[in-house]
Amino acid sequence: MSLQVLVVEDDRSIREMMRQALSLEGFAVRTAVSVSEATSMVEHATPDLMLLDLGLPDGDGAALLQRIRWRHNFPVLVVSARHQEAQKVQLLDAGADDYLVKPFSVAELLARIRVALRHRGTTVAAAITRHTLEGLDIDLDVRSVHLDGAELHLTPTEFNLLARLVRSAGKVVTHRQLLLDVWGAEYVDHTHYVRLYMGQLRAKLEHNPAEPRHLLTEVGVGYRIATA
Amino acid sequence: MTHSSTLPQHTRTARQAVWLLVLLALPTGLGLALNAQITVMTQAMLYVLAVVVGAYVLPAAASVACAVLAVVGLNFFFVPPRWTFAVDSQEHLVALVVMLVVALVISQLSQRLRRNTALARLHARRAEQLQTLASELAQCTDAKAAAQVGALYMARAFDGPTVLALRAQDDALQAVDTAVALNPSLQDGLRAAMREASVLGPGTGRWPGLNAWYLPLGTAQHMHGAVCIQNIDASDETGREHAQALCALVAQTLERVQLGREMALANERNTRQQLQNTFLAAVSHDLRTPLAALVGNASSLLTQRDKMTFHEQASLLEDIVRSVSHLSRLTDNTLQLVQLTNTAEPLAVDWEALEEIAGACVARQRLAGAGTRIRLHMPADLPLVRVNAVLMAQLLDNLLDNALKYSEDAVDLKVRLCKGQMQLMVQDRGPVIPPDVHAQIFEPYSRGDRSGKQGAGLGLALCRAIARAHGGQISLRVRQGGGNSFRVCVPLAAEVPTAPPGEPL
C-alpha cells in the first residue's frame, strides 16, 4: 500500500504541481484547500504525512497543527513564503517537522519528505542514536564522537547540543527548541548561547568551519545536521 | 511673588516683635549696666546702631517702629529727668528730634536698598529661568513635552495657580495638567487671548477687571494655545514681561516642533511618491523582459515540442527556470524594500554570527551553480552582532548575485573586524563601475548600466536599506588591481555577550 500524503494548499497551481509530483513518486495524494477541509480529512483518514501551507483563507495553520498534535503523530511539513519567517518558526516550535520556502524545486520537496518519513514515530521513542556521514561518526549510546577515526572531546553542553541535532538528523531544529532541550526553559531567550556553542562545535567537527559540511545553518530559523 | 516668606502671617508678626524687643533691650540693658561710664550721647549712638540693624532685618513698618521706640526709649531711660517722658533742656529736645530724623532716614535708606537687592535677585532668577527653560525646550521633540516643561516653569515663576492649555486638532482646548478642568470663564479668557494674539488682564489695558493674566502661545498666524496666571498684581509690570518672555519661548518651541512634523510628513509623502515611481519603472523593465522570455519559451514548448530535439527542449526549460528565479528574486527584493521603507517598527534583531550567515549564503550560491567561484575569507572568533539574520542574508545574496553576474572570475567574500565595526566585503574582478556613478548606484532602480545585462534593479537599493536599518552603511570602491569592492559596515554592540558560565569553552 502506498503512503498517504495530504496536501493543504489554497493556490490551485501549486496544489496541482505538488499533487502531480508526489503521484509520480508513488504517493497516494489527497488535497484540501482550507483549514476546515483539512481538519475533516484528517478525522476521516489519518495521512502518513501532511504538507501545510501558511496563510490559508479560513484561518491559522497553527491552530490546526495544535489540534492535530493532540491525537496524531504523523510528520507535518510547513510550506511558506519567504517573508513569513516568524509564523514558520512558530509552527516549527508548535510541533511541525520541517519547512519548505516557496518557490521550491520538486527535488527539495521530495528530499524533505524522505527525511520526515524516516523520522516517523521518533517523538515517542528516540530512534536515532547513531549518525554517520563522511568521516563523522556520532554514537549517542556510548557518548562518543569520532572524526576521521580520531575521537573528539566535547564538553557536556557541546555534546548535548550535538545529540539534540542528531536525534532530529536531517530535520531543522529551531533555536528555541535547542535552548529549551539543552539549557532549559529559563534560557529560551539566550540565543547567543546557541551561536557561541555552535561555533565551538563547528571548530571541532568541521574541516572548514566557515563552510560547514555537517552542521548547517537555516538562517533565521535554526540548525540541521546534514544526512546526505 | 516667590520671594515672600512661606510662613503664616501671625508667626511672622511674632518673630518681628521678638526681633524688635531684643534690638531695643540690648542698648537699654547695656546703658543701664554701664550707667556711670557713658554719657547720653554714647547711649544715643547705641540706639542708632540698633535702628540700623533693625532696618536691615525688619520690614518697613517694623523698622519705623524700631526707630520711634528707640527715641522714646532714650528719652524715657536716659535723658534727664530719667524714668519720665519729660525733657528738661532744649538741647536734649533738639537732640531727640535729630535722632528721630536720623533713625527714620536710615530706616528708609536701608529699606530701599533691600528692595533693590530683592529686585535684582528676582531679575537674576528670572533671567536664569529663561535660560534654563530655553535649553530644556531645545531638547523637546514633541509638543506635549514642550508644553509640560512650559507649564512647570510657569508654576515655578508665579505664586498663583497657572494653567497652560494647548489647542487640539479639533480646536478644543486641553490643559497640559489633565487634572485641571477648564471652566467656561477660564476657557473664554484663554480663547480671547488666542483670538486677539495679545496679553489680556490687569495692567495691559484690556480686560483690566480680571484677577488674572491671559497670555497667548504663538502669533496670529500660528496659534498653539494660551496660558492663564491667576492672583497677580496689576502693577507688577516686570512680572508680566517675564510671563510674556516665558510664553514666547514655549511658543517658539511649539512652532519648531510643528514645522518639523510637517516637514517629516512632506518628506514621507515625497519618499513614497519616489518609491511608487521606482516600482513603476521596475515593472516596466525588470518584469517585462523576463516575462517576455517566459511567454516565448513556454509557448514554443507548447506548440513546437514535437519538432524539437530533447536537447532543445531542455534548453528552453532551463531558460524558463532562470527567468522565473530572476522574477522570484525581484519580487522578494521589491517586497522587502517596500516593507523596510514603509514601516516605522524597529527591526527584529538577535545575536547572530555573521560568519554563519555568510557561510549559509555561500553554500546556497554553490548549490545554485556558483561552484568554486566564491572564495570565503574569515578569521576565527569574530564577535556576535545584533542583526536580523534573514535580512543580512538577503543583503549578501544580492551582493553575491551581482558580483557573480557581472564578472567571470572568482568573487571574494570577506568578513572582518575593523575599528569597532564588522565589515562584509564582496569583491569582484568584473568591469569597473565608474566612480562617478558610485553615488547613484544605491538609488532604487539605477543600474549604472553594467554592460546591458539584466540587473537586479532594486537589489542594491535594498542592500542600502538593510544596512541602514541596522545602523550601518554600504559603500562601493574601485578594487585595487581591477574590479569592484562593495563594503557593508555593521556597528558592534556596546556589550558583546560571552559564553554562559559553568563550563569552559
Express each pLDDT in B152-169 by its tens digit: 999 888 887 889 999 888
Selected for mutation to probe chain B from A155, A172, A211 (highest B CB count within 10 Å) is A211
What is the DSSP track for B310-344? HHHHHHHHHHHHHHHHHHHHHHHHHHHHHHHHH--
pLDDT of residue B2: 40
List b or e across A57-73, with b for residues whose CB sees 16 or more CB atoms inside 10 angstroms: eeeebbebbeebeeeee
Q: For residues B103 and B63, what is the distance between their CA atoms, to the nearest angstrom?
A: 9
In sequence order, the β-bridge partners of residue A4 are A28
What is the DSSP track for B173-197? EEESSTT----HHHHHHHHHHHHHT
The 3-state secondary structure of B221-271 reads CCEEEEEEEECCCCCCHHHHHHHHHHHHHHHHHHHHHHHHHHHHHHHHHHH
Q: Which of A121-130, B426-435, B478-487 has the lowest mean pLDDT?
A: A121-130
- The pairing of strands B350-352 and B212-218 is unpaired
How does residue B136 score in pLDDT terms, banded at 50, 70 and 90? very high
Q: Which residue has the cell 514655549?
A: B250
The continuous run of DSSP H or E covering B274 comes out as: helix B237-282
Query: Stretch B8-12: mean pLDDT, rounded?
Result: 78
Q: Give the nearest chain B residue to A158 (CA atoms).
A: B505
Question: What percentage of chain B reaches a pLDDT higher than 70?
Answer: 93
Q: Does B358 touch chain A (CB under 8 A)?
A: yes
Half-sphere exposure in the Cβ direction for A199 (13 Å, CA): 21
Classify residue A78 by its DSSP letter. E
Which residues of chain A neighbour B395 with C-beta distances below 8 Å? none
B 285-324 near A (Cβ less than 8 A): 324
Q: Under 8 Å CB-to-CB from B61, ≥6 apart: which residues?
A: none
Helix axes B90-138, B40-57, angle to 10 degrees: 20
Q: What is the pLDDT of residues A134-177, one digit of tens each?
A: 999 999 989 999 999 999 999 999 999 999 999 888 889 999 99
Half-sphere exposure in the Cβ direction for B473 (13 Å, CA): 3
Q: Cα–Cα distances in Å, from B473 out to B370, B420, B463?
A: 27, 14, 9
Helices assigned H by DSSP within B382-493: 389-406, 459-469
Say whether A217 and B362 touch across the interface (CB within 8 A).
no
Helix, strand and coil content of chain B, in percent to the nearest 5, comes to 60, 15, 30
Selected for mutation to probe chain A from B322, B388, B390 (highest A CB count within 10 Å) is B390
Instruction: Name the E strands within B1-111.
Output: none
Q: For residues B209 and B211, what is the distance between their CA atoms, to the nearest angstrom?
A: 7
Say whether A220 and B390 touch across the interface (CB within 8 A).
yes
Query: Stretch B7-32: mean pLDDT, rounded?
Result: 86
Say whether B350 and A191 touch across the interface (CB within 8 A).
yes
pLDDT of residue B63: 86
Contact B165, B225 (CB under 8 A): yes
Looking at per-residue confidence, does B9 or B476 come out higher?
B476
The C-alpha cell of B92 is what? 536734649
pLDDT of residue A125: 45
Looking at per-residue confidence, does A126 or A80 come out higher?
A80
Q: Would you say residue A10 has pLDDT above 60? A: yes
Q: What is the pLDDT of residues A99-140, one digit of tens each?
A: 988 888 888 899 899 888 887 654 444 567 889 999 999 999
Question: What percentage of chain B reaches a pLDDT higher than 90?
Answer: 24
Contact B30, B74 (CB under 8 A): no
Q: For residues A174 and A198, what is the distance between their CA atoms, to the nearest angstrom?
A: 13
Query: Stretch B466-486: mean pLDDT, rounded?
Result: 91
Most confident option among A63-72, B7-16, B42-51, B243-252: B243-252
Which residues of chain B neighbour A155 with C-beta distances below 8 Å? 503-505
pLDDT of residue B425: 94
How does residue B357 score in pLDDT terms, banded at 50, 70 and 90? very high
Q: Does B416 touch chain A (CB under 8 A)?
A: no
Q: Would you say residue A198 has pLDDT above 90? A: yes
pLDDT of residue A156: 92
- This prediction has a pTM of 0.60
**Between A83, A203, A217, which is nearest B359 by CB?**
A217
Q: For residues B27 and B108, what is the distance between their CA atoms, to the nearest angstrom?
A: 21
Q: For residues B292 and B286, what is the distance between their CA atoms, to the nearest angstrom?
A: 11
How does residue B486 score in pLDDT terms, banded at 50, 70 and 90? very high
Q: For residues B490 and B292, what is the distance between their CA atoms, to the nearest angstrom?
A: 39
